[in-house]
Chains A and B, each alone.
Chain A
Amino acid sequence: MPEVVLDLFSNFWVALLGKVLLVALMIPLIGMVIGFAEMKLSAKMQNRVGPYFAGGRWGWAQLIADGVKFFQKEDLIPADADRPVFKTAPIWVLVGTVALFVVIPFGPGLIFRDLSVGVFYALAISSISTIGVLMAGWSSANKYSLMGGLRAAGQLIAYELPLVLAVIGSVILAGTMSMSGIVEAQIEAGYPYVIFQFVGFGIFMIAALAELTRIPFDMPIAESELVMGYLTEYSGFRFLFFFLAEFANMFTMSAIAVTLFLGGYWLPGLSEDQLVYLGPIILIAKVFVLVFAMIWFRWTFPRFREDQLQTLAWKWLIPLALVNIMVTAALKVLL
């Protein structure tokens, strides 16, 4: 690469600007790709074709068209709604997702910012979206949205705990909270942590589905009951923010799961130099396997009722996660 460009990027502010632009580009792109994948895959599971006309035979331009459509819609705010809260709610949700991108290791050294408390930061920031959901439900002057918001509050807060407790097993095995540190620990150990932490992996995936409010945990949205729940009054580009945030969040949650349990950007038998180039591709491939599983579950299962959801979290997942931590810690000390 030419010396001039490298010198330019060694300047802190230019590098920062570059990173910000990259993240800003990646989020809509990933959101659109995953959204398109969901439309096509769900169609194939139902003997249909999915998007077909937009952009030639494959329909790949469907989500671009949808994005443009959402942008040019009228910005409706209900008369009784709480305007500042209504307007900022989508931004809170998106911030929770975008901020997670910062700590995902795409390759050795290819991480936006390698925080030494990466895991802690990731889980804390992902809770910001909860506030956004509550704000959305409250500020729309609509009883249905309020009910959706209340359900969301209960669900999201309840599932934060299994999410956090499930990753502690991995952190214990790796000995560090930095995300790239955990991947390097897996490379050193020679096996991905899921082999021993399968309980933690399972709990994490279930809790991630609940945090994303996807079926089987989509009571807050519950399309056939509450007509989109807390999202009912949103239209146009505000809805687009929520929509993109959900798909991008699928990516980031899966990326965290891949990093912590499945070995991140590493495949056995690849050297460090190869990983610099192949790392992002491997990571994205693994993430897509998990995203496929999420889509598959969504279209096969119905939704849990709110109290069953809470029972699952409090009576099953949290005790299991605690047992997992105790067993992992004990084994680590003894072995």
Chain B
Amino acid sequence: MVIDADTLRHMSEASVSVELETEDMTLNIGPQHPSTHGVLRLVARVDGERVYDVKPVIGYMHRGYEKLSEVRTYPQITALLNRIDWVSGYANEIPFMVAAEKLMELEVPDRAQYIRLILTEMARISSHMVFMASYPLELGAATPLFFALRERERLLDLLESVTGGRFHPNFNRIGGVKPAYGSGSTTRKWIQDLPAGFFEETTQAMVRIREAVDQLEDLVAGNEIILARTKGIGVLPPEVGAAFGVSGPNLRASGVKFDLRRAENYLPYDKFDFEIPTGANGDCWDRWKVRLDEIRQSCLIIEQAVAGIPSGPLQAKVPKVIKVPAGETYVRAENPKGEMGYYLVSDGGGGPYRLKIRSASFSNISILPWALEGVLVPDIIAIMGSLDFVLGDVDR
């Protein structure tokens, strides 16, 4: 498609620049910027307010996860993986665990699966709360930030009471969840099950979160300025989204009713009754609304799980030094940001031979050059924010 001034001016009705002979300017929305979620660099050619093309430059945060995994053992990798997408810490470990358990052909006990599910849904709410906080801030409203983060603190306190860490729980073990404090004669008996008062506090926290979500909806959803800034902006047709590999709430906002929680069975989601929210148009507003509804659905799942959790052991019987038999497998899961997959190749040793991480945000931002052609500069921020990516996830 030939991009010139006339084609672009037809793409949107708003036109700000006068018909003068001005040259366009290369604007570097640089790695250090308040609005890119991390160190993303966009090299944009702009003419006044209109953007001609955008080239994202990534790699400022590459930490070498895949190489690191080649020289670490399985328990050590578990400690590292939750730092990929640090906003939703717990959810990053799950597909890796399931992949290793698949190769070892282990049966994870029910209680461990339920605990994994509860903590994953808490991570999902936590990640969407960060989105609720930061997206209006990029559009200019500063107050939802505080309301959303206030509720996220409750969830982080709950996560901390179970796992000991707020953002980096490190609670999964191959075969289940962390069974005991240590391996000594006394500490082996200190079972790391859910602490006393967890169920009650969780139920109360869910009530508070629903209230806060309603408050956020009042504050943000009825506001004409936000509707004017997000409706019709950044429309993503479902075919284009699927072609670029966009996943998660971004794709669901375009109307594709596909959720890996139902499509795959890495955790017992089929025992719970919840809906999958979708959007109609695929614009920024729908992406916001889908995430808001997902918070509500996650609250529902957690309440059902807490009511019906079975008792039992926390980890399957595994040897002390874990060696995964040779083989390869790919497991994908519904990370809050999208589809996260781990391709694990094992050669029978104490660590993987190769671990390939398919991260959600990397594919989500591949759509930026397509979506940001011909928009106005403030819309760059609106569209980027609505994709909800984290640079740690993009660069690994």
A–B touch (CB < 8 A): the answer is: yes
Mark A residues whose CB is within 8 Å of B. 42, 45-48, 143-144, 147, 150-151, 154, 215-216, 218-219, 222-225, 227, 299-308, 310
Category for how many chain B residues contact A: 20 to 34
* 10 closest Cβ pairs, A-B complex: A303-B140, A302-B140, A46-B146, A302-B139, A302-B141, A307-B14, A305-B378, A224-B138, A224-B35, A224-B34
Within the complex, the shortest CB–CB distance from B277 to chain A, in Å, comes to 23
Q: Does B106 contact A (CB under 8 A)?
A: no
Contact B228 A308 (CB under 8 A): yes
Question: Nearest chain-A residue to B26 (Cβ)?
Answer: A143
Contact B34 A223 (CB under 8 A): yes
* Residue in A45, A47, A223, A301 with the greatest tally of chain B CB atoms within 10 Å: A301
Question: Nearest chain-B residue to A308 (Cβ)?
Answer: B228
Q: For window 139-179 of chain B, which residues contact chain A by CB distance below 8 Å? A: 139-143, 145-147, 150
Q: Does B53 contact A (CB under 8 A)?
A: no
Q: Does B49 contact A (CB under 8 A)?
A: yes
Q: Does B381 contact A (CB under 8 A)?
A: yes
Contact A304 B25 (CB under 8 A): no
Question: Nearest chain-B residue to A218 (Cβ)?
Answer: B140
Within the complex, the shortest CB–CB distance from B142 to chain A, in Å, comes to 6
Chain A residues near B136 (CB-CB < 8 A)? 302
Contact A302 B378 (CB under 8 A): no
Contact A47 B139 (CB under 8 A): no
Q: For window 371-396 of chain B, which residues contact chain A by CB distance below 8 Å? A: 376-379, 381
Within the complex, the shortest CB–CB distance from B317 to chain A, in Å, comes to 48
Question: Nearest chain-A residue to B139 (Cβ)?
Answer: A302
Q: For window 293-308 of chain B, which residues contact chain A by CB distance below 8 Å? A: none
Chain A residues near B225 (CB-CB < 8 A)? 216, 301-304
Mark B residues whose CB is within 8 Å of A. 14-16, 25, 27-28, 33-35, 48-49, 136-143, 145-147, 150, 219, 223, 225-226, 228-229, 376-379, 381
Contact A302 B25 (CB under 8 A): no
Question: Nearest chain-B residue to A43 (Cβ)?
Answer: B146
> In the complex, A307 Cα to B34 Cα: how many Å?
23
Chain B residues near A302 (CB-CB < 8 A)? 136, 139-141, 223, 225-226, 229
> In the complex, A47 Cα to B225 Cα: how many Å?
24
Chain B residues near A216 (CB-CB < 8 A)? 140, 225
Sample (27) of A-B pairs whose CB atoms are under 8 Å apart: A46-B146, A147-B27, A147-B377, A215-B141, A216-B140, A216-B225, A222-B140, A222-B378, A224-B140, A225-B35, A225-B138, A225-B378, A227-B33, A299-B142, A300-B223, A302-B141, A302-B223, A302-B229, A303-B139, A304-B228, A305-B14, A305-B228, A305-B376, A306-B376, A307-B14, A307-B15, A307-B49
Contact A300 B381 (CB under 8 A): no
> In the complex, A304 Cα to B224 Cα: how many Å?
10
Contact A225 B377 (CB under 8 A): yes
Within the complex, the shortest CB–CB distance from B267 to chain A, in Å, comes to 35
Query: Which residue of B48, B49, B141 contacts A301 across the interface (Cβ within 8 Å)?
Result: B141
Question: Nearest chain-B residue to A227 (Cβ)?
Answer: B34
Question: Nearest chain-A residue to B385 (Cβ)?
Answer: A224
Contact B141 A307 (CB under 8 A): no
Question: Nearest chain-B residue to A146 (Cβ)?
Answer: B25
Within the complex, the shortest CB–CB distance from A229 to chain B, in Å, comes to 11
Query: Which residue of A143, A224, A306 contacts B381 across the interface (Cβ within 8 Å)?
Result: A224
> In the complex, A223 Cα to B137 Cα: how many Å?
9
Contact A300 B219 (CB under 8 A): yes
CB within 8 Å for A47 and B146 given contacts A225-B35, A225-B377, A302-B140: yes
Query: Which residue of A42, A47, A150, A219 contacts B378 across the interface (Cβ within 8 Å)?
Result: A219
CB within 8 Å for A300 and B138 given contacts A222-B378, A308-B228: no
Within the complex, the shortest CB–CB distance from A49 to chain B, in Å, comes to 12
Contact A306 B378 (CB under 8 A): yes
Contact B143 A299 (CB under 8 A): yes
Chain B residues near A48 (CB-CB < 8 A)? 146
Chain A residues near B145 (CB-CB < 8 A)? 46
> In the complex, A124 Cα to B84 Cα: how many Å?
57
Contact B139 A143 (CB under 8 A): no
* Residue in A300, A302, A306 with the greatest tally of chain B CB atoms within 10 Å: A302
Within the complex, the shortest CB–CB distance from B229 to chain A, in Å, comes to 6
Question: Nearest chain-A residue to B16 (Cβ)?
Answer: A307
Chain A residues near B48 (CB-CB < 8 A)? 150
Question: Nearest chain-A residue to B13 (Cβ)?
Answer: A307
Within the complex, the shortest CB–CB distance from B395 to chain A, in Å, comes to 22
Within the complex, the shortest CB–CB distance from A239 to chain B, in Å, comes to 17
Within the complex, the shortest CB–CB distance from A23 to chain B, in Å, comes to 33
> In the complex, A299 Cα to B239 Cα: how many Å?
39
Within the complex, the shortest CB–CB distance from B329 to chain A, in Å, comes to 42
Within the complex, the shortest CB–CB distance from A330 to chain B, in Å, comes to 31
> In the complex, A218 Cα to B33 Cα: how many Å?
18
Chain B residues near A224 (CB-CB < 8 A)? 34-35, 137-140, 381
Contact B143 A45 (CB under 8 A): yes
Contact A300 B14 (CB under 8 A): no
Contact B381 A225 (CB under 8 A): yes
Chain A residues near B381 (CB-CB < 8 A)? 224-225
> In the complex, A147 Cα to B35 Cα: how many Å?
17
Chain A residues near B139 (CB-CB < 8 A)? 224, 302-303
> In the complex, A300 Cα to B145 Cα: how many Å?
11
